[in-house]
Structure 1
Amino acid sequence: MKRFKLLIILFGLSIQSCNTQAEKVNGVSFVASREAINDNHVSPVVSVNANYAAIMPFGFIRDLTQPEVAFNTRKQWHGETRAGAKQYIQELRKKKIKIMLKPQIWVWRGKFTGYIEMKSEADWKTLEVSYSKFILEYAELARDVNADIFCIGTELEKFIDNRPDYWFKLIDEIKQIYKGKLTYAANWDEFKRTPFWSLLDFIGVDAYFPVSPSKTPTVEECLTGWTEHKKVINAISEKHKKPILFTEFGYRSVDYSGKEPWKSDRSMVQVNLEAQTNTTKALFETFWKEDWFAGGFVWKWFHNHNKSGGENNSQFTPQNKPVEDLIRAQYNLK
């Protein structure tokens, strides 16, 4: 009898444990546009069963060695500004979509932000002051709108490598303003060296890992391609005792989509919808069932859904492509 009661108790605890597991972040990266959004723009996010949206206001740097961050200027699109980000958040919240506020830097001509590196101590100091003004303004917005997650930066490897002390101080300043959950969006080949994971709530990874060299990779090839990457990702999670969050993930609907998934090269124009679907399916099968994996944000989702993507589009967006149905089904799983 005692043994039977013990089994009942253990069974009850296991059920309770399953019911209290954290809900996965099933997110979209909601692209900033020229205009305000409304219910017509939010409904497709709901339709794909997303429960989170990453809102991405922008600051601009003229060159990789130029230290001034320009933001909230009249030249920027509505969604790239503080006011626009707030309006987007308010509209998404009406449909109970949770928010990761993810301010980002854009270097003119699309140069990679990971290479931002100053040539003098004076310029590093200027960059630190300028970036702090930028990110702390958005920390205030995150506080004001009660954002669920705040991302303190995206793919800034050289900046962090050269100025780690600054980043530790910056995180402390952010925490004085915003009391919610924090992450940083490290590039796929950067996250192993990011020094401040212990201070954040999620290990954020922009998950553009190479998984297959094939023109049209199969799901099985991609699952194999993930094997070693997954071991490293899991090890970093265990080392820091933090869950992994894919702050960006996704593939272009193009030939060789799994070979160098970070590429946005416009010379790659050969549409391959199957490649996009297979790579995405393998990613879901590899990670979404893991307890140490928090979820992620698909790259990228435009506000004007009916005019976005489509079966002749070779870019990242899943909209109006077969992969959108795959995402919808995955995001509907409980």
Structure 2
Amino acid sequence: MTWGWTGIRGTWDTDSARESMRLMVETTAVNWVTIAYAAEQEHAYSTAISFREAPTVTDDEIRGAIREAKALGLRVCLKPVVNVADGTWRAHIGFFDWDVPGEPTWGEWFESYTEFIVHAATIAAEEGCELFCVGCEMVRADAQADRWRALIARVREIYAGLVTYNCDKYQEDHITWWDAVDVIGSSGYYPLGSWDAQLERIRPVVEKFDRPFLFMESGCPSRSDSPSLPNDWSLPGHPDGDAQLRWYDDAFAAIRARPWVRGVMLWDWPARLYPASDAATNDDYCPYGKPAQEFLREQYSAWRAS
């Protein structure tokens, strides 16, 4: 399960955040957690990432969340992510393919991004995280293969654990540098009824690069229309826990039939958890108190037993 997004300063080092993580483990039987947080750049063509300032969580909050997760018996993936302050999706961060004097460049952006990621990798190394994610859904940046390889090499200088990258949905077969990471990661927000076809599209990528594969993100809001487009958190519809459950049933049936899918990091579980009494009217991704909760507990328990 992914916990804590987006990592707003002041929300992680609280009793309610610790209780949220405890309930996540107790009610879903997860054995891994992705601790995910965001730093911001001003707009899609900015080259400076402000990871030391609010609203990003502090280093102490990150370390505290990792330690809390480990105290609960979880293995931890640390996932620092860049967001755009004006709301533009990070997939659209991009620059000219060639450098032009006076214009922002990929080189300048990767210099700032590398500082951000290496700083996070240092925390991951010092706190004993088992997995580290170097990026998330950076679709326009994905083509910068040499720069990703250089970044990953820098991470490996200080972090000895497993390294992954979280590509966006439908992008698994467009990444040319999967050999640079230890684990292929993807965002699995595929529509109801399409899972078998999408997994068969992904299979040759896994075979070609001979790497373990997992869904670094996957989930569906508990909203009536969401199974048809589970990555769209703004899709119209009314709260519907049964719709979320149908999507999970479809996704997990396809995944469980393919042992080469090594896991699923579900999206997501907030640091500020809503009361269980509000579950029926909550239409977000978190399964707490919804029909999908017990289903996931059963699935994860069976997966661990096998």
Q: Normalized against structure 1, the TM-score is what?
A: 0.82
Partner of 2:228: 259
Contact residue 4 and residue 37 of structure 2 kept, 8 A? no
Partner of 1:203: 184
Distance 1:83 1:57, change over 3 A: farther
Within 5 Å, give how 1:91-106 maps onto structure 2: 91-106=68-83
The number of equivalent residue pairs is: 291
Q: Does 1:70 align with 2:27?
A: no
SS in 2 for 1:64: coil
Divergent runs of 4+, >4 A: none
1:272-303 residue CA offsets vs partner (Å, 9 max, x unmatched): 22111000111111113432111011111013
Worse-superposed segment, 239-248 or 113-122: 113-122
In 2, distance between residues paired with 1:89 and 1:109?
29
Runs of 5+ consecutive residues of structure 1 not aligned to the other structure = 1-26, 212-221
Distance 1:271 1:41, change over 3 A: closer
Partner of 2:280: 311
Within 5 Å, give how 1:1-334 maps onto structure 2: 27-31=1-5, 32-33=7-8, 34-35=10-11, 36-38=13-15, 39-47=18-26, 48-73=28-53, 75-76=54-55, 80-119=57-96, 121=99, 122-161=104-143, 163-211=144-192, 222=193, 225-265=194-234, 268-307=236-275, 310-333=279-302, 334=305
Partner of 1:16: none
Contact residue 288 and residue 295 of structure 1 kept, 8 A? no
In 2, distance between residues paired with 1:246 and 1:147?
18
SS in 1 for 2:166: strand
Q: Which amino acid aligns with 1:294?
A: R
SS in 2 for 1:237: helix
In 2, distance between residues paired with 1:270 and 1:109?
28
1:82-111 residue CA offsets vs partner (Å, 9 max, x unmatched): 221111001111111110000011112331
Runs of 5+ consecutive residues of structure 2 not aligned to the other structure = none
In 1, distance between residues paired with 2:199 and 2:105?
38
CA-CA distance at 1:157 after TM superposition: 1.4
Contact residue 57 and residue 81 of structure 1 kept, 8 A? no
1:172-221 residue CA offsets vs partner (Å, 9 max, x unmatched): 1111111110110000121211121112111100101223xxxxxxxxxx
1:288-321 residue CA offsets vs partner (Å, 9 max, x unmatched): 3432111011111013435376111111111221
In 2, distance between residues paired with 1:194 and 1:324?
33
Contact residue 252 and residue 314 of structure 1 kept, 8 A? yes
Identity of aligned residues (%): 22
1:135-163 residue CA offsets vs partner (Å, 9 max, x unmatched): 000111111011010000001111121x2
SS in 2 for 1:258: helix
In 1, distance between residues paired with 2:167 and 2:244?
23
Q: Bigger radius of gyration, 1 or 2? A: 1
In 1, distance between residues paired with 2:228 and 2:19?
36
In 2, distance between residues paired with 1:37 and 1:330?
30
Q: Which amino acid aligns with 1:228?
A: A
1:250-284 residue CA offsets vs partner (Å, 9 max, x unmatched): 0011122222211122x624222211100011111
Structure 1 vs Structure 2 CA RMSD: 1.8
